[in-house]
Structure 1
Amino acid sequence: MIQQIRQFTDNVNFTRAVIVTVAAVLPVLVLSKLGYFETGFTVAIGAFLTYPADIPSNIVHRARGLLAATVVVMGSTVAVNLLHPLPWLFYPLITVLVFFLSMISVYGQRATMIAFSGLLAIALGTGHIHVGMEIVEYAGLILGGSLFYVVLSLTFNFLSPHRYTELTVAECLKLTAKYMKLRGDLWNADADRASIVEKQLHLQVEINTIHENLREVLFRNRTVAGNSNRSRKMLLLFISLMEILELALSTSFDHSQLHQKFGSHSKVLSTYQNLAYNLASTLKRVGKSIENGKKYIAKHDLIADLAALEKAITDYEQLLGPEAAAEGVYMLKNMMHYAEKQIEKIKIIERAFTQNITFKELSKTRDKDLDKFLTPENYPLRALRDNLSFSSTIFRHSLRLAITIALGFVVGALFPLQNVYWILLTIVVIMRPGYGLTKQRSYQRIIGTVTGAIIAFAFLHFVHEPVIIGTLTIVCMLLGFTFTAINYRIGATFVTIYVVFLYALLTPDISHVIQYRIIDTAVGAVLAFVGNYLFWPSWEFMNLPVFIKKSIEANRDYLAQISQYYNEKGSVTVGYRLARKNAFIELGNLMSSYQRMAQEPKSKQKQQQQVYKLAVLNHTLLSSLASLGTYTQSHKTYQASEAFNVVVTTVIRNLDHAITLLNLGVQAQEALQAQNEELAMRFTELKNIRAKELREIHLTDDQEFKLKMEEAHLVIEQLVWLNSISEKIVKATKQLELSK
């Protein structure tokens, strides 16, 4: 229980909840003691409105984002109050302001949250209208609350500057361990491999998100704290995790074929699986040690596990004889090689937490290259201008939100609703670009509001002591802010409870007030749900071809970089690492789009099976590419043969063919058919190379020849597999286009 409580409180969501709760409660408590409750409440609103823009990142960008949110919140508040006396001007201009604030989302997550703060300020401002000099006073107090939150947040950051990074790295370790555990599950003879691959694809979305967060914090922060041993430890750990993930993805095998081949020698595969599980368990254990702030103590002897695998391979070779076991030994030694590399990376991580050393693994040259892996922090006006069309998902969402807010005003004017701003707040909070998430949050908001109201009223029926109610109001506020980011339904429940408790302290007619809150929340949720369905919806099937194309392009570029490295040798280039990063990201984006489509109405889930098939094929292709890329980096390789280059060219042309089909449709098929037939004929001849070389193995035991044989075996096997996958991608893309 203590451990669970500690894990709950020691995370970024709880920390942010503590900050906003203190920033909101402290002014109310202090100023109400001095007889200025209304003033304290207004200051609290300023803190509350700034809070959404407080997303974790490096200190400079975090401060800039919070200050920008402060300006937007105050500007939105002033605009609402100045325009309100002129209805003919107020409604059209506020609708336009909502649209343009929402359009800021084109500049990324930070801009999205700053815009969200502004939208909340507009919605809340319509319920707190002032005139004359009161506007200046009210805006000044909102500004004061915003700045108070900024100071408090940055102070918390200085008190514990590394905790967010450590917790995020710990989460990254656990997700990577989970991914590796799934890879280990594939080795069960009766494994549901389709289900495991689906879990891996969903997990890839989470891993991509956390990798992007870590790049922002670790790469951007290094200029400020990059020379500290602690920061370099986290940076080295993250880079090692990236390489471990690539190695995990590299172990791409036809498991059914391997179980057939080694069916009577299952000890070899079970020994490898045990090693895979222990690798995952070790990463998870490191993550827990970071999370709990305890010294890391190794549980598994990975070197002994590797030795056991090597012995199992030797026993297999002795049992069958060198010639009969040759092909199987090549396969098994290739598997062992990847395991060795993973252990090597994990040992670097273990050493970072068990030895008091300085970290010089990251050179200054590599440090400079890290900038290229970050999303650019520039905000050109062109990006906004380019998105002012119906082809932009953000434009559609912004227009949809603005019209739904306008409808909220209309409903509030036509019906005797007490607080129209609750309708607007519900619309702003619930409405998202995707139909599925909006629908989900609508249900969660209504259920949470009703549940919270029932719980609060039941409690107030028995308890009337203001001190107890006030204390529980603060506790529920803290839990509401914490759970909103974790579980929206539970968060909405606690938010409703603290709102009910707050009104219980302020007004005797609480049942009347809460009745209207439930009605207003339901009206806002229905408007958001209907608006997302009727007003220029961006159904995911319309966007999926773009994500499919980007994933194929990223894999193609990754293969091109691998080919370049294999031909030219030398050190791994920044271009290679960028191509690898983009391939992982685009696969995650494709799967994320597929997940959103799965939440939409069945009638809008067009070509779902075909899309999923392409996602799996791209995942398999990336796995094969990672395997080839890892091999070329970690082995001594010889001059690339003409066979290698011809097959790589074939695969790239197949992928280009699929991209062309997505761009032009099936009419591109005939133009490319003849070219593909010629390439297929050339590739058929190349498939005989491995068999010929294997037949010659008895001629010599020379070590160099063995290395060449191993290289020929792995590289050509991967090329055969790559070509097969690329052909399947072309076929699946063709079927996708034909089914439109």
Structure 2
Amino acid sequence: MIERLKRFADSTNFTKAVIVTIASAMPLIILTQLGYFQYGIAVALGAFLTYPADIPSNLQHKVRGLLITTLIVSGCTLMVNLLHPVPLLFYPFAIVMVFFLSMISVYGQRATMVSFSGLLAIALATGHLRDGWDIAIYTALSLAGGLIYTTISVLFKLVSPHRYTELQMVECLKLTAKYMKLRGNLWEKDADREKIVEKQLHLQVELNTIHESLREILIRNRSTAGSSNRTRKMLLVFISMVDILELALSTSFDHSKLQHKFSDHPKVLDTYQNLAYNLGASLKRIAKSIENRKKYISKHNLIEDLESVQRAIESYRNALSEAEASEGVWMLLNMLHYAEKQVEKIKTIERAFTTTMNFKDLKERDKDLQKFLTPEYYPFRILKENLSLSSTIFRHSLRLTVTMIIGFGLGLIFQMQNPYWILLTIIVIMRPGYGLTKQRSFQRIIGTVAGAVIAFALLSVIKNTSIIAILAVTAMVLGLAFTSINYSIGATFVTIYVVFLYGMLTPNVREVIQYRVFDTAVGGILAFAANYFLWPAWEFLSLPVYIKKSIEANRNYLNEISLFYNEKGSVSTAYKLARKSAFVELGNLMSSYQRMIQEPKSKQKQVQQVYKLAVLNHTLVSSLASLGTYIQSHKTSKASEAFNVVVNAVIKNLDHSAALLSAETSTQAYCSDKEELAMRFTELRNIRARELKESTPDDENEFRLKMEEANLIIEQLVWLNGLSEKILTATKQLELTK
């Protein structure tokens, strides 16, 4: 429990919660002591509304984002107060601003959070209207609050500039360790392998997110602020982590076949499984050392584990005749080769935290590394392209605007005490997807009710104002820290904070909170209903696009592997970008699938078929990574005609699948190509054997090695061709209603 509390206190969420609490509470306390409580509230709100846009990034983008948010928040506050007395101007302005702020979410996460801050500012301003010079004073105070938050946040960043990077790396190491442990579980005799693969697919989504975050921090920071030894170390570790994941994906053992093959010699597989578990355990131990800021001490001797596997292979070889053992030994040596590569990568990471390293190789890659980043620019073209009902963000913006109009109208018609609470609830809860909006609606209502009950229970026994104030600040920190971790708990603590605050300010706190609970329920119901009835963006409508992108990314990855095998040389940046894209698009496909299964059953179209395509694409990525890894780690011969014929056949299958999903042509158009695509692989082996024999007629040993290469490559191509045909068949069977 103590360790968990320490991790929580060291987390980015808790740090941000502390920053916004300091930025809000400090001016409020000072101005209250000077007799300007209302001014203190205005400054505190300015700081609080700037806080959502404080997302992890390099210092330059952080400051720019917070300053823009501060200007938007104070600008919205000013315009609402100026125009509110003139309904003919106020209502059109409010509607346009709500829609526009919602639409800028098309520019990514930072823009989404800036949008969120602006929308909150509009909602709060409608509940705290000013007139005369008060408008200018409160706008200036709101601006000051945003600047105070920006200053404190930057100071925290300067005091501990690398901590966020370290915590992200910790998360990456832990997720990769979990992935490796799942691979170890596959060696269990009665393992539910379908369930394990499903867990790996879900992990892929999380790993894609954390990889993108680390690329942003490590590579963009490296280009804008120079490169320290610590940054270079983290970058080297990150590159090793990506390689470890590729290796894990690249080796798809037939576990059932292996279990059957070595059923009379279980020690071989047990020894290998122990090594597989220790690979993940080593990564987890490295993560803990970074998290706890302690020197890394290796617990598992991976070299000894490798030697144990080698001894087990020798024992197996000695127990059987050479003819009986040859196939099994060949399988085991392939497994051992994979494990050696993983140990090599993990040893690189261990050395990064235990010895002084030479980072010269990274300097040569600076230019190429920039290509792995998502571009940071905001052209008007993107906004214009999304101004149609085919855009999920456009639908969400339209839906949010209409729902806020309805919520505001209900507040006016029924003369609710604080109608802006309805607007705040709608803004906080409503998301583009139905599933998350539904989940948040229930979580917020449950959290609000639970928080109100707990707070009233505490207020009934605590009468000391100072104690209540301390509890209120504590609840605020915990509420903000938990919001992104567990929304129900976050909503509970935020409600406790609000009740305590009103408990200090007003005598009729029970009546005020009753209204808050009621308004929260109304806002939650409106948000939930709007996502179902108003221009819903059901996930099954977008899934064909995600499937198509995943198939196209796999095709591009295969094309780069083919180029590398044909041209040799070093691995190109284009190859690595294609690999990254294949991993990312697979994760996006799984994210879309996860969102769909959260939606109403009636809106879940072809769930099994979609999942089947996700698994097939995952298997295809794994097979491609296996082929690419083999070619990178072995001295290979000249690519044969056979290789290129089959690669072209696989690419055609994938192109056909992508074309079907974009409705570019009909299924019948491909029937005439069937014979061309179906190559006889026995003939391909004969072609390759003839080519090799002609090139090395006298060297039997070299010929044997090249035939081994040929067989491995052909086996992968057989598997790839089969997968591409299954994807094409599954795509033809997929009937997603648009």
| TM superposition score normalised by structure 1 | 0.97
- Closer/same/farther in 2, CA of residues 91 and 739 from structure 1, 3 Å limit: closer
Q: Distance in 2 between matches of 1:372 and 1:113?
A: 25
Does 2:331 match 1:335? no
SS of the residue 1:707 aligns to: helix
Partners of 1:418 and 1:516 within 8 A in 2: yes
| TM superposition score normalised by structure 2 | 0.97
Aligned match of 1:298: 298
Match among 677, 684, 687 for residue 686 of structure 1:
684
Match among 670, 673, 690 for residue 671 of structure 2:
673
- Closer/same/farther in 2, CA of residues 552 and 537 from structure 1, 3 Å limit: same
Structure 1 residues 79-478: aligned runs within 5 Å? 79-362=79-362, 364-478=363-477
SS of the residue 1:388 aligns to: coil
User: Can you give the 5+ residue segments of structure 1 that lack an aligned partner in the other structure?
Assistant: none
Q: Distance in 2 between matches of 1:130 and 1:82?
A: 8
Q: Supply the AA of the counterpart residue of 1:543.
A: S
Q: Distance in 2 between matches of 1:236 and 1:709?
A: 36
Structure 1 residues 545-564: aligned runs within 5 Å? 545-564=544-563
Q: Distance in 2 between matches of 1:528 and 1:345?
A: 48
Q: Deviations over 1:450-498 (max 9, x none)?
A: 0000000011111111010000000000000000010000000000000
Partners of 1:330 and 1:713 within 8 A in 2: no
Partners of 1:166 and 1:291 within 8 A in 2: yes
Aligned match of 2:702: 704
Which sits farther off after the overlay, 128-137 or 16-25? 128-137
Q: Distance in 2 between matches of 1:232 and 1:633?
A: 24
Q: Distance in 1 between matches of 2:565 and 2:261?
A: 30
Structure 1 residues 564-579: aligned runs within 5 Å? 564-579=563-578
SS of the residue 2:32 aligns to: helix
How many Å apart are 1:703 and its aligned residue?
Answer: 4.6
How many Å apart are 1:700 and its aligned residue?
Answer: 10
Q: Distance in 2 between matches of 1:54 and 1:648?
A: 47
SS of the residue 1:118 aligns to: helix
Which sits farther off after the overlay, 289-298 or 634-643? 634-643
Partners of 2:407 and 2:523 within 8 A in 1: yes
- Closer/same/farther in 2, CA of residues 16 and 460 from structure 1, 3 Å limit: same
Aligned match of 2:511: 512
- Closer/same/farther in 2, CA of residues 327 and 668 from structure 1, 3 Å limit: farther
- Closer/same/farther in 2, CA of residues 710 and 330 from structure 1, 3 Å limit: farther
SS of the residue 2:360 aligns to: coil
Aligned match of 2:725: 727
SS of the residue 1:361 aligns to: helix
Q: Supply the AA of the counterpart residue of 1:735.
A: Q
Q: Distance in 1 between matches of 2:687 and 2:544?
A: 37
SS of the residue 2:735 aligns to: helix
Partners of 1:552 and 1:655 within 8 A in 2: yes
Q: Deviations over 1:242-290 (max 9, x none)?
A: 0011011111122222222222222222222111110000000000000
Q: Distance in 2 between matches of 1:700 and 1:314?
A: 31
Does 2:70 match 1:70? yes
Does 2:711 match 1:713? yes
Q: Supply the AA of the counterpart residue of 1:494.
A: F
How many Å apart are 1:311 and its aligned residue?
Answer: 2.0
How many Å apart are 1:3 and its aligned residue?
Answer: 1.4
Partners of 1:423 and 1:524 within 8 A in 2: yes
Q: Distance in 1 between matches of 2:30 and 2:704?
A: 79
Partners of 2:605 and 2:737 within 8 A in 1: no
Q: Supply the AA of the counterpart residue of 1:712.
A: A
Q: Distance in 2 between matches of 1:679 and 1:319?
A: 45
Q: Distance in 1 between matches of 2:543 and 2:683?
A: 37
Partners of 1:541 and 1:606 within 8 A in 2: yes
How many Å apart are 1:189 and its aligned residue?
Answer: 1.4
Aligned match of 2:489: 490
How many Å apart are 1:92 and its aligned residue?
Answer: 2.5
Q: Deviations over 1:556-592 (max 9, x none)?
A: 0000000100110000000000000000000000000
User: Can you give the 5+ residue segments of structure 2 that lack an aligned partner in the other structure?
Assistant: none
Does 2:602 match 1:599? no
- Closer/same/farther in 2, CA of residues 638 and 692 from structure 1, 3 Å limit: closer
Does 2:526 match 1:527? yes
Partners of 1:549 and 1:662 within 8 A in 2: yes
- Closer/same/farther in 2, CA of residues 689 and 294 from structure 1, 3 Å limit: farther
The count of corresponding residues between Structure 1 and Structure 2 is 735
CA RMSD of aligned residues (A): 1.9
Q: Supply the AA of the counterpart residue of 2:264.
A: S
Aligned match of 1:634: 633
Does 2:650 match 1:651? yes
Q: Supply the AA of the counterpart residue of 1:655.
A: L
Aligned match of 2:17: 17
Partners of 1:687 and 1:720 within 8 A in 2: no
How many Å apart are 1:224 and its aligned residue?
Answer: 4.4
Which sits farther off after the overlay, 707-716 or 242-251? 707-716
Q: Distance in 2 between matches of 1:676 and 1:232?
A: 51
Q: Distance in 2 between matches of 1:358 and 1:42?
A: 52
How many Å apart are 1:93 and its aligned residue?
Answer: 1.9
Partners of 1:229 and 1:358 within 8 A in 2: no
Q: Supply the AA of the counterpart residue of 2:516.
A: R
How many Å apart are 1:187 and its aligned residue?
Answer: 1.3
Q: Supply the AA of the counterpart residue of 2:394.
A: F
SS of the residue 1:126 aligns to: helix
Q: Supply the AA of the counterpart residue of 2:383.
A: L
SS of the residue 1:264 aligns to: coil
Q: Distance in 1 between matches of 2:392 and 2:107?
A: 13
Q: Deviations over 1:281-320 (max 9, x none)?
A: 0000000000000000001111111111122223323333
Partners of 2:540 and 2:736 within 8 A in 1: no
Partners of 2:692 and 2:706 within 8 A in 1: no
Partners of 1:330 and 1:710 within 8 A in 2: no
- Closer/same/farther in 2, CA of residues 713 and 332 from structure 1, 3 Å limit: farther
Q: Deviations over 1:645-686 (max 9, x none)?
A: 111111111111111111227x62221112122221444633
Q: Distance in 1 between matches of 2:610 and 2:210?
A: 25
Which sits farther off after the overlay, 612-621 or 347-356? 347-356
How many Å apart are 1:365 and its aligned residue?
Answer: 2.7
How many Å apart are 1:335 and its aligned residue?
Answer: 1.6
